[in-house]
Amino acid sequence: MKPILDATAGNRHMWGNKEPDNVIFMDQEKRLFFPPTLFATWQHLPFRDDVFKAVIFDPPHIFSETSMYNKNPSSRPNGAKKRPGWYGAFSSKRQAIHAFLAAQKEFSRISRQLYLKWNTASLGIDSVLTLFQEWIIIRMAPFRSRGKKPSTYWVRMDRKHGGT
């Protein structure tokens, strides 16, 4: 069975089992409570073609140089209470767009499925999905946050025929 790549592992907040079989955890941050299996960036993935069953992509949703996530890696986003939850932030929307365009091309090279988790804190889901040109949306599941907080979406995408 092909492994799954969590391309934005962070501190594995979404994983109940922090050490699942068949998952490769990748991140570029070295100061994590749960270190990744591999330190790498999305733009230049060190994998051969079609090696993964799926890629999970939960990129930073914040675009600001003054974000507490850029200033303080020990901050606790996402309600993390016991351990730092450093998540990172882009300095601008332009930086995020360039990163997402490069990442989605690399993801289409290494896998036929992509699961995107997106929070609409700084950019709407429609704007983000237009960046994933190598992919076809199969299913989108919105999750409403409480109160005035932005919504979160899980989107399953399949690689377009022919891949890269």
Return the CATH number at 68. Answer: 3.40.50.150
Q: Tell me how crowded residue 126 is: count the other CB atoms within 10 A of its CB.
A: 8
Indicate whether 164 belongs to any domain. no
Indicate whether 126 belongs to any domain. yes
b vs e for 96-111, b when ≥16 Cβ sit within 10 Å of the residue's Cβ? Answer: bbebbeebbbbbbbbb
Indicate whether 74 belongs to any domain. yes
Q: How far apart are CA 51 and CA 154, in angstroms?
A: 23
How many domains in the chain?
Answer: 1
pLDDT at 160: 93
Indicate whether 28 belongs to any domain. yes
pLDDT at 41: 87
Mean local confidence (pLDDT), 73-80:
47
Indicate whether 96 belongs to any domain. yes
| Domain span including residue 124 | 4-159
Please provide residue 138's backbone torsions phi and psi, each rounded to the nearest 5 degrees: -100, -45
**Element housing 68 (H / E):** helix 68-71
Residue 65's pLDDT band (cuts 50, 70, 90) = low
Degrees (nearest 5) of the Cα angle 69, 75, 80?
115
